Amino acid sequence: MKYLVALRFNALIGISLVSIVAIAALAGYVVPSADPLHIDYSAFLSPPSPAHPFGTDNFGRDVLSRVLVGAWSSLISAFGTVVVAVILGGTLGAVAGFFGGWVDRLIGILTDTLMAFPGLLMALALISILGAGIVPMIITLGVSFSTIFIRVVRSLVLSLREQEFVQASSAMGNGEMYTILRHILPNCISSLLVLATSTLAFAILAESALSFLGLGVQAPNPSWGGMLAEGRGLMGHAPWLVLFPGFAIFLTLLGINLVGDALRDWLDPWMESET
Amino acid sequence: MLKYAFIRVLAAIPTLFLVTILVFFFIRLVPGDPAAMLVGDIQNIGRLEEVRSSLGLDRTIPEQFVIWIGRVVQGDLGVSMINKAPVLETILQRFAVTAQVVFISVLLTTLIAVPAGMIAAWKQNKPADNVIVITSIGVMSIPSFWIGLTLILIFGIKLGWLPSIGYVSLFEDFSAGAVYLIMPVIALVMGELGGVLRMTRASTIEVMRRDYITHARAKGLSEGAVLARHAFPNAFAPTLTVIGMVIGALLGGAAVIETVFTLPGLGRLTIEAISSRDYSMVQGILLVVAVIYVLINLITDLLYPLFDPRMNF
């Protein structure tokens, strides 16, 4: 019971953090406090002050408004990545698990091939073909994160396929697509939700890493990873350039991880008996 | 077991073949080619054609692939198209740097995360567990490259205790090399700690409710002995898989940490090779990384029976 209280407390902190970041992202997108691209040479590299709470960068741009707009691009690309990964991985995994046979083997080889490419290397190669930017990054990350969904959904479907209600549905003459959508999919949702939440955290990390390497969101548009890369050379004189964007990433990930943890405890039947 | 290993290696061949084909064609889809990089002046058509034919790029892509794969099966990865350095030697040299950082980090991560995860599981839902779980979530939420930057800012720039950039091989000068590795290793350990810890905790919790644990306790074994002799061997297998995945991912993809600390490792070599369109180098790197990945998976699977004798091949 005590654990349940601690758990709820964690979940509450997680949800608040995620909401704060989401509201900040929306605010940064809808009503930028100061133009994140506005160059002001009279105020470059000024430390945090009432006019610029997070200071300014080497072009005199307001770091706070850049962090806020960065939140928008981080969240959008992370959500996009998870959507691509869930749809692509979920479909391939369900098909592989439900039909088995050569389809399963073909998808298996495809998954192994994708997994043998370390994510970052694949991202580098794909992004140099598609060009750097948010959309190519979403596609790249979505494809590389889809492998885990393929595996999980495949194994879920394999075990569900043998269950009586699925066999009954087939015996009643329902089509395969109907059985998958009506009976198998709803039973995968709680596992998918837990997996999607942890993937969201990984996607934010990967997005900031790619933007840090200059492969994601392109300058002058702000992104947390890109701001870290730009601030890196100047951080001895202007530590706020790397402290605030990094702290933004930390709070976002902390929020998502806390929510994910609470979801897992709540939805995972094996942990349930503990609480 | 040898037969199993042999079958596994054979089964990896289609995957490796597919990886090489994909890499070969993908890198040629990227706009710009090594000839353009070497000549610099893309108006100079005559010179471009000359360089292309000297690099063998005037042939059709399938022809180039057959020539390349023919050499690869003889163990010849060729030379860099940009600076003529032998590909395999360059990769191994850069890999040695990445491998030092990664193996030390993974070893340290395991030594910290596995006992901590087991203690958390043993004290499940007690304050010690809560502290460990919350700490692990906190650590998981800090990007390792930001830790790297912050370490450089504090210990490199402000305090001046450690060198912020550069690298000395441990095998050439151990103490100097160790000084350069401290910060990258801390950053990587903090990056990977959370995942391994949580896996250990989850699998230990699962094991702790088994009958043989109750039996071990009932026969009067101390808690330490129950954990070490009965819980650990059974709980370690899933953790081993995660550790294998971490090694695989880091060996090919420590590029960000290598960039932060300017380490001349494999990740940075990859970025350089892709951006200079060094086809032969990119093909070589991805082939080597895919082979390493397959080998690490194989080694992890072969290690399972050491911890869990019920598994055999």
Chain A CB contacts of B152 under 8 Å are: 235
User: Regarding predicted confidence, which is higher, A265 or A19?
Assistant: A19
Chain A CB contacts of B130 under 8 Å are: 3, 6
Do the chains contact at A121 and B22, CB–CB below 8 Å? no
Instruction: Name the domain count of chain A.
Output: 1
pLDDT confidence of residue A7:
63
Quote the CA–CA distance of A189 and A191 in Å, as a whole number.
6
Report ipTM (2 d.p.): 0.80
pLDDT tens-digit readout, B220-245: 888 888 888 888 888 887 788 888 88
Do the chains contact at A236 and B153, CB–CB below 8 Å? yes
Residue A200 lies in a domain: yes
Quote the CA–CA distance of A183 and A219 in Å, as a whole number.
47
Q: Which of A35, A174, A150 is nearest to A96 (CA)?
A: A150
Percent of chain A with pLDDT over 70: 88
Residue A127 lies in a domain: yes
User: Regarding predicted confidence, which is higher, B306 or B313?
Assistant: B306
Chain A CB contacts of B23 under 8 Å are: 125
Quote the CA–CA distance of B129 and B202 in Å, as a whole number.
12
**Residue B113: C-alpha distances to residues B59, B102, B136 (Å):** 53, 16, 9
Return all residues near A54 (Cβ < 8 A) that are at least 6 apart: A48, A62, A63, A64, A67, A240, A244
The residue of A117, A140, A141, A194 whose CB has the most chain B CBs within 10 angstroms, and thus the best one to mutate to test that interface, is: A117
CATH of the domain at A165: 1.10.3720.10
Confidence of residue A270 (pLDDT cuts 50, 70, 90): very low
User: Regarding predicted confidence, which is higher, A242 or A180?
Assistant: A242
- Highest mean pLDDT range out of A16-30, A46-60, A93-107? A93-107
pLDDT tens-digit readout, B77-135: 888 888 888 989 999 999 888 888 899 999 999 999 999 998 888 888 888 888 898 88
pLDDT tens-digit readout, A68-120: 888 888 888 999 999 999 999 989 998 888 888 898 888 888 887 777 766 66
Do the chains contact at B145 and A125, CB–CB below 8 Å? no
Please check the confidence at residue A274 and state whether its pLDDT lies above 50.
no
Residue A45 lies in a domain: no
Percent of chain B with pLDDT over 70: 96
pLDDT confidence of residue A118:
62
Domains of chain B: 2-73 (no CATH), 88-307 (1.10.3720.10)
pLDDT confidence of residue A271:
43
Chain A CB contacts of B133 under 8 Å are: 261
Return all residues near A208 (Cβ < 8 A) that are at least 6 apart: A74, A216, A223, A224, A225, A228, A249, B143
Compute the mean pLDDT over every residue in chain B, rounded to the nearest whole number: 83
**Helix-strand-coil split of chain A, %, nearest 5:** 75, 0, 25
User: Regarding predicted confidence, which is higher, A147 or A270?
Assistant: A147
Which chain B residue is nearest to residue A270, measuring alpha carbons? B206
User: Regarding predicted confidence, which is higher, A187 or A257?
Assistant: A257
Q: Which three-class secondary structure state does DSSP give residue B79?
A: strand
Return all residues near B228 (Cβ < 8 A) that are at least 6 apart: none
Q: Which three-class secondary structure state does DSSP give residue A172?
A: coil
**Residue A110: C-alpha distances to residues A153, A193, B62, B295 (Å):** 15, 24, 21, 18
Quote the CA–CA distance of A58 and B278 in Å, as a whole number.
34
Residue range(s) defining the domain that contains residue A82: 2-39+50-274
Return all residues near B199 (Cβ < 8 A) that are at least 6 apart: B117, B238, B239, B242
Upstream peptide bond of B163 is cis (omega within 30 degrees of 0): no
Residue A191 lies in a domain: yes
Residue A243 lies in a domain: yes
Return all residues near B222 (Cβ < 8 A) that are at least 6 apart: none
The residue of B130, B141, B287 whose CB has the most chain A CBs within 10 angstroms, and thus the best one to mutate to test that interface, is: B141
Confidence of residue B252 (pLDDT cuts 50, 70, 90): low
Q: Which three-class secondary structure state does DSSP give residue A31?
A: coil
Q: Which of A118, A98, A99 is nearest to A185 (CA)?
A: A98
Do the chains contact at B15 and A208, CB–CB below 8 Å? no
Q: Which of B200, B199, B198 is nearest to B137 (CA)?
A: B198
Contact B42, A140 (CB under 8 A): no
